[in-house]
Amino acid sequence: MKNENLNSNKKLDQLEEHRTDNSGEFLTTNQGLKVNNNQDSLKADERGPSLLEDFILREKITHFDHERIPERIVHARGSGAHGVFKLTKSLEKYTKAKFLTEVGKEIPVFARFSTVQGSRGSTDLARDVRGFAVKFYTDEGNYDLVANNIPVFFIQDAIKFPDLVHAVKPEQDNEIPQAASAHDTFWDFISLMPESMHMIMWIMSDRAIPRSYRMMEGFGVHSFKFINSEGDVHFVKFHFKPKLGVHSVAWNEAQKISGVDPDFHRRDLWEAIENGAYPEWELGVQLIPEENEHDFDFDLLDPTKLVPEELVPVEIVGTLILNRNPDNFFAETEQIAFHPGHIVPGIDFSNDPLLQGRLFSYTDTQLSRLGSPNFHEIPINRPVQEIHNNNRDGHMRQQIVKGKVAYEPNSMGGGCPYQAMIKDGGFHTNNERIHGNKIRARSQSFVDHYSQAKMFYNSQSIPEKLHLQNALIFELSKVKIHAIRERMVAQLNFINKELAANVAAKVGVEVTVLDMPNQSIPADADPKTLQSAEREPKTTSSEALSMKNTAKDSIESRIIGFMMADGVDADGVNTLKNQLENLGAVVQIIGPSMSAVKASDGTKFIPKHSISSTASVCFDALYICPGAESAAELMRSENKNWVIGFVEEAYRHCKAVYFGADTNAIFSKTDIAGKTFEDPAMIANVDSTVGNGKFITAIANHRVWDLEIDRYENN
């Protein structure tokens, strides 16, 4: 026993040597070098490209890239599908990329959607950014558009990305919480980063809890460049706009879905494709001539800013359709490797400092995650264009290259493979004049952190503002440290004073009025760098930023729950079922149990769900099927509480609820029956010829979010 104690103490001493406390210490590199600037990467001038020389950036991101093996550090939880992209309008005037100039040609694609912060086993319904990455298998090589469902990001410079992710991930000491930003470290970081305020408005909005992957937008985030055959340059912003519109779920609903079906989005995408309801998006671009780069009151290189559609309309140029599920999730969805640096002739990078860091980071990450520099040989990553180069060997090499030569120039191989001329499709980097000092700094034009945050908030409908406010209250109520909550409310006060006051009242702090962060202009500043510092915003609200304006003309692929029991009226059920299915909706039967439901005429309906094994949150709308006998059976003592709870919850989430003929035994027992204000999505005591049409219209509108305001006023 004595020897065991000695050994134990020796082990503790060894461990003690490796423990450290960062309190009161200077920030250093892994080599012990004190870091003077941890906010900005090294650039060729303030607005110039990031430099490979930046060993601090490379060390920090390399270490970050290799923190998880083999799961992705971010975007670990994902789902994907195969599809096609078809160009409908040529962009030959702007770019020489063939897949954007050859109208009508179909390009195979693979798209992967994901959450950012959670592990592979986390829920689909976390409040989070959603990845929207598309690999285009073009004749000129693979092109990856690595997008998100939010058009801006938290930070302006890639050197801060590891800090952001470390802050939002589960806290270091206890690995809590998973897939959630409602904790101290995230809000501590955010409250000290004014540049994040625009993104916070988006992430606290309903955009962060989409109804499905099929109903969310995609944005390229960064400004890229188009280059045409004449060498003319345009900045470009990419947009994917969903055919079904942009729709969300309620936060309370998202929490319940996470318990009932944490694979909700993954299942939704898979089943839609299996049912032939292929998800579809329009690809759009915003185009800005190079000479107009400095015409805005924000900087095009700033990834925390968007270009309002009122200033530069989105031009629709093609369609993206996903039409085939993977055959093997791991081999395809998990092993696919995206990289914003996978481009084709006619597309190039801007000097956005977040994008510049991503160009290094993604390859480095794939080396760790997929275990080999030959990750491009995995079938899902192979281009349709043949690969010919002098890269050799490496772990898991598959390509077999004949001959002796693996270098260039050479004579033994006839000089092959040889360089392609530009006219032959060889990639040519845009000739951009670079001047200025080698500097670790940020342009003054990146300084304004609140104007677009205000614009987003101003653009929201009243229900959307209410949801955003409640999201902030929920998140900050989970923050234990009073000073962090106080700092965050002070930041909100720069965006909207009423919002700040309402949040402060619920999270137990006073609104502290701070001085606006320093936006002073250096005396020797270049006028081109003064955009955001000295100009009033041209756009204070934008219709495109609110989901109230989204498409509401289709019920395609919506999931409609038909609740029924023995004695149901088969004719009434089948009439509405046929109408809904003819319009592309999916009808799912909910019974008291999984046993067949026998209709009054002897017809049998097979339930997909039992009342106790599902919940209203899994459906877009609810139909209480007609028939007095069915209604009485549903209200039997063992079913009653389930049924009433099911119906009232759907109503609270502003969904369409339709009571069929002779179901007053249920309707009269719900809280809904006593409401005095009109609900266009609550259909009861009407003839089916009228009721069916009203129900279909209500489903197409997705939700009646405005009812939340009516409920507050009537309570």
Number of Cβ atoms within 10 Å of the Cβ of 260 = 14
pLDDT greater than 60 at residue 15: no
Helix, strand or coil, per DSSP, at residue 241: strand
Q: Are residues 580 and 709 in the same domain?
A: yes
Q: pTM (2 decimals)?
A: 0.90
The DSSP secondary-structure symbol of 6 reads H
Residue 655: CATH number of its domain: 3.40.50.880
494 and 377, same domain (yes or no):
no
Are 500 and 569 within one domain?
no
Residue 8 domain-assigned? no
Give the model's pLDDT for residue 64. Answer: 81
- φ, ψ dihedrals at 152, nearest 5°: -130, 175
Instruction: List helix spans (H) across 45-93.
Output: 55-65
Give the Cα-Cα-Cα angle 313, 318, 320 (nearest 5 degrees). 120
CB 228 within 8 A of CB 346: yes
In a domain, 370, yes or no: yes
pLDDT of residue 571: 96
Q: Do the domain assignments include residue 82? A: yes
In a domain, 387, yes or no: no
Q: Is the pLDDT of residue 248 over 60?
A: yes
- Tell which residue, 381, 348, 343, has the closest CA to residue 99: 343
DSSP 107-151: EEEEEEEEESSS-TTS-TTSSS-EEEEEEEEETTEEEEEEEESSS
Write out 328-358 in H/E/C secondary structure.
CCHHHHHCCCCCCCCCCCCEEECCCHHHHHH
The pLDDT of residue 521 is: 39
Domain of 189: which CATH number? Answer: 2.40.180.10
Regarding whether 228 and 154 lie in a shared domain, the answer is yes
Mean pLDDT of the 490-508 span? 97
- Distances in Å between the alpha carbon of 511 and those of 122, 188, 478, 491, 492? 35, 17, 18, 9, 9
Assess whether 605 and 505 both reside in one domain: no
**Percentage of the chain modeled with pLDDT above 70:** 93
Which amino acid would we find at residue 623? Y
Determine how many CB atoms are found less than 10 A away from the CB of residue 280: 18
Let me know if 148 is a catalytic residue. Answer: yes
Inform me whether the pLDDT recorded for 68 exceeds 50: yes
| Closest among 161, 159, 166 to 57, alpha carbons compared | 159
Name the domain count of the chain: 3
Give the strand pairing for 233-242 and 438-439: unpaired
Is the peptide bond between 379 and the residue preceding it cis, with omega within 30 degrees of 0? no
- Examine the domain organization and report whether 353 and 228 are in the same domain: yes
Mean pLDDT of 161-166: 95
Question: In terms of domains, do 511 and 560 share one?
Answer: no
Residue type, 589: I
Q: Residue 523: pLDDT band by 50, 70, 90 thresholds?
A: very low
Tell me phi and psi for residue 305, to 5 degrees: -125, 150
> In this structure, is residue 457 part of a structural domain?
no
Q: Is residue 665 part of a domain?
A: yes
Peptide bond into 409 cis (omega under 30): yes
Summarised one tens digit per residue, pLDDT across range 413-455 is 888 887 888 888 888 888 888 888 889 999 999 999 999 999 9
Q: Are strands 347-349 and 106-115 parallel, antiparallel or unpaired?
A: unpaired
Q: Are residues 505 and 603 in the same domain?
A: no
Give 713's pLDDT tier (boundaries 50, 70, 90).
low
Half-sphere exposure of 638 (CA within 13 A, CB side): 7
User: Which residue's structure tokens are 């395809």?
Assistant: 332
Q: Is 75 a catalytic residue?
A: yes
3 state SS for 516-564:
CCCCCCCCCCCHHHCHHHHCCCCCCCCHHHCHHHCCCCCCCCCEEEEEC
Alpha carbon distance 483, 595 (integer Å)? 57
How far from the centroid of its chain's Cα atoms is residue 621's Cα?
A: 25
Of 334, 336, 328, 321, residue with least CA distance to 272: 321
How large is the average pLDDT for residues 651-671?
94
Residue with tokens 């949040």: 503
Which of 18, 37, 66, 148 is labelled catalytic?
A: 148
User: How far is the C-alpha of 46 from the C-alpha of 36, rounded, in Å?
Assistant: 17
Tell me which residue of 162, 154, 156 sits closest to 64, measured CA to CA: 162
Strand partners, 143: 136
Residue span of the structural domain in which 493 resides? 466-518
Instruction: Out of 326, 347, 381, pick the residue that ends a domain.
Output: 381
In the predicted structure, residue 10 carries a pLDDT above the cut 60: no
Where among 345, 361, 381 does a domain terminate? 381
> In this structure, is residue 655 part of a structural domain?
yes
First to last CA, the chain: 70
205 contacts 471 by C-beta, under 8 angstroms: yes
State the pLDDT at residue 238. 98
DSSP per-residue codes, 225-239: EEE-TT--EEEEEEE
Helix, strand, coil in percent for the chain, rounding step 5? 35, 15, 50
252/178 same-domain check: yes
Specify if 647 maps to a domain. Answer: yes
Rounded CA separation 158/358 (Å): 7
Residue 2 pLDDT level (bands cut at 50, 70, 90): very low
Q: Is the pLDDT of residue 536 over 90?
A: no
For residues 506 and 610, membership in a common domain is answered with no
Q: How confident is the model at residue 6 (pLDDT cuts 50, 70, 90)?
A: low
Burial tier of 123 (Cβ tally within 10 Å: 0-12, 13-18, 19+)? buried
Out of 333, 363, 381, pick the residue that ends a domain. Answer: 381
Q: Could you report the per-residue pLDDT of 265-274, keeping only the tens digit for each? A: 999 999 999 9
Q: Looking at residue 487, what is its pLDDT?
A: 96
Statement to judge: residues 593 and 511 lie in one domain: no
- pLDDT tens digit sequence for 350-391: 999 999 999 989 888 888 888 888 888 899 999 988 888 888
Distance CA 577, CA 562 (A): 9
Write out pLDDT tens, residues 448-492: 999 999 999 999 999 999 999 999 999 999 999 999 999 999 999
Which residues 6+ apart lie within 8 Å of 81 measured at CB? Answer: 110, 111, 269, 273, 279, 322, 323, 324, 325, 326
335 within 8 A of 378, measured Cβ to Cβ: yes
Position 140 scores a pLDDT of 92
Q: Are residues 471 and 606 in the same domain?
A: no
Mean confidence (pLDDT) of the chain: 90
Question: Using 50, 70 and 90 to split pLDDT, how confident is the model at 26?
Answer: confident
How far apart, in Å, are the Cα atoms of 645 and each of 105, 293, 611, 616, 649? 51, 56, 10, 9, 6
Query: Which among 7, 18, 36, 75 is annotated as catalytic?
Result: 75
**Which residues lie below 8 Å from residue 122, measured CB to CB, with a gap of 6+?**
76, 77, 115, 178, 179, 262
What torsion, rounded to 10 degrees, do the Cα atoms 505, 509, 514, 518 define?
A: -100
CATH code of the domain covering residue 495: 1.20.1370.20
Q: Does residue 676 carry a pLDDT above 80?
A: no
For range 27-53, the mean pLDDT = 84
At residue 5, the pLDDT reads 56
